[in-house]
Amino acid sequence: MNLLDNEYNNYDGNLGVEYCKDGTKFIVWAPNANNVRLALFGKDEKNYTNAPEEILDMNRGVQGTWNIEVKRNLEGEFYNYLIINSGNEREVVDPYAKALGVNGNRGMVIDLKKTDPINFEEDRKPELSSATAAVIYEVHVRDFSINENSGISSNKKGKYTAFCEHGTTIPGKYTKTGIDYLMELGITHVHLLPAFDYETVDESKPDMPQYNWGYDPKNYFAPEGSYSTNPFNGEKRIREFKEMVKSIHKAGLRVVMDMVYNHTYKSHESNLNLAVPGYYYRQDQNGNFSNGSGCGNELASERYMVRKLIVDSVIYWAKEYHIDGFRFDLMGLHDIETMKQIRAELDKIDTSILMYGEGWTGGWTPLSGEESSVKQNIVKFDKMQIAAFSDDTRDSVKGHVFNINEKGYVNGRTGLEESIKFCIVGATGKQGINYDKVIYSRFAWANEPYQCINYISAHDNYTLWDKLYLTNNESSQEKRKNMNKLAAAIVLTSQGIPFFQAGEEFLRTKKNDDGSFSHDSYNAPDSVNNLEWDRVFEYKEIVNYYKGLIKLRKKYKAFRMNSSEEIRKNLTFLEYGEDFYKENVVAYKIEDNSEKNLCNTIVVIFNPNDEEAFIDLKECGWSVLVNKERAGVDEIYAIEGNSITVPSKCAHVLIKK
């Protein structure tokens, strides 16, 4: 336990700046500081290296806080704190700064009401019937529009405002791009890679090509400036971020933010550590910063004021920016109680706001395994909507993310039937699964399907299309396309919450200049990371297949059951040796036994083999909605008789007439 973690220092009130035209209040938590002063730098946004124009002594307050009220209109004024710890004075950006100057090096006093777009108070989230009704699409702000053929206006490329532009197409074609494309695709959530203020892009050089995924946190309460049309202006980035959210909502989609509370880019020199040395970070047995993130440090979420910072930040984004979901990077580094508190506070705002994250760590951590929000502990959340990514699904479907040559279910590895079944039930408990044969998990780690994120590709590691090439470069492109479609069918017809990387549906590739494939493109150039919109036209049959699967999922509740009890009642696996005789085939039936208007009886069949598979359906009267070539809600053809032969490398979805 940290010595500062006690009732004398645990502060429950508001921190940061409280602006009023007649006077602005500043309050910062710095319990072991010898002295704290407020430095005011004036309002010239371009003069961002000048010395303070005014320095004011702050007053020691309650529970480790320092405060001051400046009784004049400070709107637009840049500020920092000068904090003395152990005799050394350091300039510190307010950890609760809601607006920032360029590169996040100074806080800014702002009237937040003036940052709202027109009618922002009337902005409403699109309806979401349940968490399992979500279809999440992960995209980087810059990747989305920077490509020369995105059709997005040049002044909006790579910016928040790109999401506000309608009517864009691939030049010379009628193929939609941008926000119109997302609407047509059918997804429900746009998951943005980190868009809070991060360290590793120089915002003062907006015309210089720069790139980073953004997993380098600097300031947790303000948007990243490099995605703004004017990174020098603290108000501009806020308004444009809000305009983006409003536009996405108006398009019928929700917004998820990728939050990185597990570490900060800097360690000893971070704003947090300069404010309160040693408090915000975990230490090892030698007193050094522990490194469970693999990035040099890890935040001690279990400490009172660290937990407060995280909870306050999430709630602020939800309220001020109308954010609809939060993804937690390396969620395993967050203690269970912190995650529960976030969920409880979000529920007070809107129970439909999503929470999910990576149920693992990046290395050893002093945080107890019993307290960690790792995948195995998701069961400790009872029925709370806090989900973990299923690496069981990811690696069983396409092969291990770190072993280039390892194949998965769709691309040639055998003996993965039980892992695929585990994916189908959203990591919940179900008869008919041999858990001893699931690749990673020996028990159901999700109490409910809305606690499982099923996915096969994300920003990390190789794209799905590149992975399929690396494991099957001897195969024809057509065969690899079929593998891709089969992978998509598994994820989008399984219980839980489906998630996929932007461009997976048009065979996104990340090729380096030397022709090799990038598996870690966090700082690679646009030429590697950009969405190549031409591929939407080139591979429109794959895009249409994804559209069809999403449409199918949306129409039938059978694919998005909201409780494990429903899954147990309504879903049964067809049996090898009784319903089919081909190894590696996985097939299941969904019947409406819970009287919740799920669907007519549905049968789903996955055949990853290079040969066709015969399935005995036991009864007649079936229509095919998904086959090797097409997917959707319309009948492709009616089955004559009580059996079907499923071709190689494909999924079939049948519905009882």
Q: What residues are labeled active site?
A: 329, 358
Q: In this structure, what is the dihedral angle of CA atoms 525, 529, 534, 535, given to the nearest 10 degrees?
A: 140
Listed residue (133, 191, 130) closest to 550, CA to CA: 133
The DSSP output letter for 63 is T
Q: At what angle do helices 417-424 and 391-398 cross, to 10 degrees?
A: 140
Question: CA angle at residue 110 from 108 to 111, to 5 degrees?
Answer: 175
- Measured between alpha carbons, how far is 631 from 625 in angstroms, rounded to an integer? 6
C-beta separation of 354 from 385 below 8 A: yes
Question: CA angle at residue 146 from 141 to 150, to 5 degrees?
Answer: 110
Residue 90, H or E segment: strand 88-92
What's the first-to-final CA gap in the chain, in angstroms?
63
C-beta separation of 481 from 498 below 8 A: no
- Measured between alpha carbons, how far is 390 from 426 in angstroms, rounded to an integer? 8
Residue 244, H or E segment: helix 234-250
C-beta separation of 319 from 288 below 8 A: no
Residue 382's CB is within 10 A of a number of other CB atoms, namely 11
Residue 414's CB is within 10 A of a number of other CB atoms, namely 11
Distances (CA, A) of 518 to 90, 279, 391: 40, 37, 20
Q: At what angle do helices 464-471 and 477-493 cross, to 10 degrees?
A: 130
**How much is the CA Rg of the chain, to the nearest whole Å?**
26
Listed residue (361, 175, 371, 154) closest to 262, CA to CA: 361
Q: Dihedrals φ, ψ of 277, to 5°? A: -55, 130
Question: CA angle at residue 491 from 487 to 493, to 5 degrees?
Answer: 115
- Measured between alpha carbons, how far is 534 from 176 in angstroms, rounded to an integer? 10
Report how far Cα 246 is from the mean position of its chain's Cα atoms.
19
